[in-house]
Structure 1
Amino acid sequence: MTYTQTKAALQRLVQEKVVPGVSFALIDGDRVETGQYGQAALVPAPEPLRPGMLYDVASLTKVVGTLSVVLQLLAEGRLRLADRVSDYLPEWQDPRVTVQHLLTHTSGITGYIPNRNQLAAPELTAGLLGLHVGPTFNRQMVYADVNYIFLGWIVEKILGDPIQVVAQRRVLTPLGMVHSTFTPANPLACIPTAQTVERGLVRGEVHDPKGYVLQRRCGSAGLFSTVDDLARFCQAYFQPEKVAAVLPPLLVNHLAHDLTPNGHAGRSLGWALTATQWPTPHRVIWHSGFTGTYLVIDQAAKQAMVFLTNRVHPVAPNEPYLDQRNAVIGTYLAEKSRYNARDFSR
């Protein structure tokens, strides 16, 4: 593995000061190449980026933790895609929304919660359960954290423990993701995220405002992880049969398909979909996190990329990063296809 163009694109993100630093893994079956460029922190003082540092991976929590547990419950028959949310969360009043809608972000749940980030957990919980369904229901994919917060609460109803406790027990520990945690013991081992008026420099605590309020009961954010642990997670997706109790093979092997209720909204269970060309045109799965993280997994080729950065440091949201991120993903997929085609022709 060389991926010269992909690594050059990652270096440019740092050189052009789009992000302070980048940690990455390029994965080809059993082979993993890791590296890092740039700084861990810019404020209050520059700090070098060290191998093995923990990142707040934000919405990667959805696919690594919450989705994995939900897939387990589906495989065990303790949950069904067609189950109504209101059967588990009776405070939710719209019986049309199902587990499948939540998983694929086609629930249409929308609305405004005044002073949301200043609410205590009980008030925020009530506010979220008091939202309504809008006109995109069952027709369009509209990404929203509330879907995976609800899924976390459904998991808690079934298993009796908060989603983050369950994800640690049922996913992180059995996969050997030994550094991954929802409660980092040493903040200095963590990459800092934003510096805010309310919280100062956020380090070793979840950046996401809803995750900060809901804590262990948040299924949409809160996970801290490393490049090595996330590479291990990606490799488990290549051969879920080896970890069938954690990643049910029948479900995981079908995730590169549009699994929205109408089959046309362009989303899988949890994962976003994009295309690659080798050996024939097919879909790969990917997901990003607000803090500047993403995973790209090509299950058919058994290849993946882990990309971790703190694009919200020292100030969020750093919108220019988004176009750059998508360009890096495109560079990686194109370069991967060229390497695969070249190796295949030998």
Structure 2
Amino acid sequence: MQYSETVQSIEQLVKDKVVPGVNYAFIDEDGIQRYLIGDRQLLPVKQPLDDGHLIYDMASLTKVVGTTMVILKLVELGKLSLDDSITKYLPKLKFNEVTIRNLICHTSGIEGYIPNRDKLNHDELIDALLGLHVGPGLNKEMHYADVNFIFLGLIAKQVTGESIHQLITEYVLKALKMNNSSFHPNPDNCVPTVYDEHNGLLQGTVHDPKAQVLGDDCGSAGLFSNMDDLIKFVQSILNPSENPVLSEETLAGFCEDQTGYDLGRTYGFERLDYEGMHYIWQSGFTGTFIVIIPEKKRAMIFLSNRVHPVSPNKEYIERRAPLIETYLKANKKDES
């Protein structure tokens, strides 16, 4: 299938200098189409994106590629249930009504402000997070928040005795043979994120400040990966019978709303509808996203370092939704 308008939109992003460069791919019944355009970095010296195997900071794609898969694996192993209260594993929270399902669907209603958050150490940050409260949004609205997946990582550790990063490596990366993915990559193989004259390039070190502090205990960010490995992950979702991590029954649940209240979330991913065509998607702050259309067995993977050289780059956010809509429109048009 051809995605000429989507390709043009991505090329325009680079031409307009919204992102330094993009490594992207389309997966469908015709196979895999891969593209590379633009630069690896702009500062302190410009370097072209000349290697499709370069590693990117996945940011919040860690949530779906890693933590979601681990939690569902633990459910299959009978070590926990999605409907367990989170207080069963994290008694300091005192939120009996909040379940693991709420966390994985971002419907927990957990909210609050942590003063000087980025100045806290590992234990101080965890204690502060455990001190947050539940607001009126519980089971009434989807409020996307990293804290939900940080708690999922802590719950997984409580159940198994291993950190969430260890579990992701064991249950997901090794099983899917994602050999280029890790939480401690060789910096020379990584596309850099931010740059400033005082600190230089942030390259091979996670961009997310909470992940920097929490290290192996961060379930919301920290993974580094590349296009080769993300293709393996996406194909494992599109082809449940070939998935070595989860059962076909569990994977079928990715196509369904899992909130119990039709709030537009499935396992980890947001679940939306485009003119009657369901799709799931997840993005990462650094400039990454995955869009999957389960019923068509099609997907788009987009990797950029949009925070380079300076974060946050709001223009990228403004142009991301129209770009994704262009891709969805191409898939919908193919039905006629």
Tell me the TM-score normalised to structure 2 length: 0.96
Question: 1:183 corresponds to which residue?
Answer: 184
- Structure 1 position 223, deviation (Å): 0.6
Q: 1:29–1:238: 8 Å Cα contact kept in structure 2?
A: no
- The amino acid of 2:150's aligned partner reads I
Return structure 1 stretches of 4+ with deviation > 6 angstroms.
Answer: none
SS of equivalent residue, structure 1 residue 307? strand
Question: 1:161 corresponds to which residue?
Answer: 162
- The amino acid of 2:257's aligned partner reads D
- Structure 1 position 118, deviation (Å): 1.2
SS of equivalent residue, structure 2 residue 299? strand
- The amino acid of 2:315's aligned partner reads P
Alpha-carbon distance in 2 for matches of 1:20, 1:287: 21
SS of equivalent residue, structure 2 residue 254? coil
Alpha-carbon distance in 2 for matches of 1:198, 1:240: 48
Deviation track 1:239-291 (CA, whole Å, cap 9, x = no partner) reads: 12222x40222121121222113x221211211122245xxx23111100111
Is there any run of 5+ residues in structure 1 with no aligned partner, and where?
none
State the number of aligned residues.
335
Q: 1:237–1:247: 8 Å Cα contact kept in structure 2?
A: no
Q: 2:292–2:298: 8 Å Cα contact kept in structure 1?
A: yes
Query: Which stretch shows the higher mean deviation, 219-228 or 27-36?
Result: 27-36
Alpha-carbon distance in 1 for matches of 2:335, 2:28: 14
Query: Which stretch shows the higher mean deviation, 316-325 or 214-223?
Result: 316-325
Distance change in 2, residues 1:311/1:217 (3 Å): same
Question: 1:144 corresponds to which residue?
Answer: 145
Question: 2:309 corresponds to which residue?
Answer: 314
Deviation track 1:89-113 (CA, whole Å, cap 9, x = no partner) reads: 1121221111011011011111111
RMSD: 1.5
Distance change in 2, residues 1:4/1:105 (3 Å): same
1:316-335 map, 5 Å:
316-335=311-330
Alpha-carbon distance in 2 for matches of 1:285, 1:124: 31
Q: 2:106–2:144: 8 Å Cα contact kept in structure 1?
A: yes
Question: 2:251 corresponds to which residue?
Answer: 252
Alpha-carbon distance in 2 for matches of 1:57, 1:30: 27
SS of equivalent residue, structure 1 residue 259? coil
Question: 1:61 corresponds to which residue?
Answer: 62
- Structure 1 position 57, deviation (Å): 0.9
- Structure 1 position 198, deviation (Å): 8.0
Question: 1:274 corresponds to which residue?
Answer: 272
1:205 aligns with 2:199: no
Distance change in 2, residues 1:197/1:210 (3 Å): farther
Distance change in 2, residues 1:191/1:123 (3 Å): same
Deviation track 1:12-59 (CA, whole Å, cap 9, x = no partner) reads: 110001111100010014711111110111111111112110000100
Q: 2:277–2:332: 8 Å Cα contact kept in structure 1?
A: no
- Structure 1 position 138, deviation (Å): 1.4
Question: 2:121 corresponds to which residue?
Answer: 120
Q: 2:109–2:136: 8 Å Cα contact kept in structure 1?
A: yes
- Structure 1 position 80, deviation (Å): 0.8
1:288 aligns with 2:301: no
Alpha-carbon distance in 2 for matches of 1:285, 1:9: 21
- The amino acid of 2:69's aligned partner reads S
Aligned sequence identity (%) = 45
- The amino acid of 2:208's aligned partner reads D
SS of equivalent residue, structure 1 residue 306? strand
- The amino acid of 1:208's aligned partner reads D
Distance change in 2, residues 1:98/1:254 (3 Å): same
Alpha-carbon distance in 2 for matches of 1:84, 1:46: 51
SS of equivalent residue, structure 1 residue 287? strand
Question: 1:86 corresponds to which residue?
Answer: 87
Query: Which stretch shows the higher mean deviation, 288-297 or 193-202?
Result: 193-202
SS of equivalent residue, structure 1 residue 169? helix
Question: 2:27 corresponds to which residue?
Answer: 27
- The amino acid of 1:212's aligned partner reads Q
- Structure 1 position 199, deviation (Å): 4.9
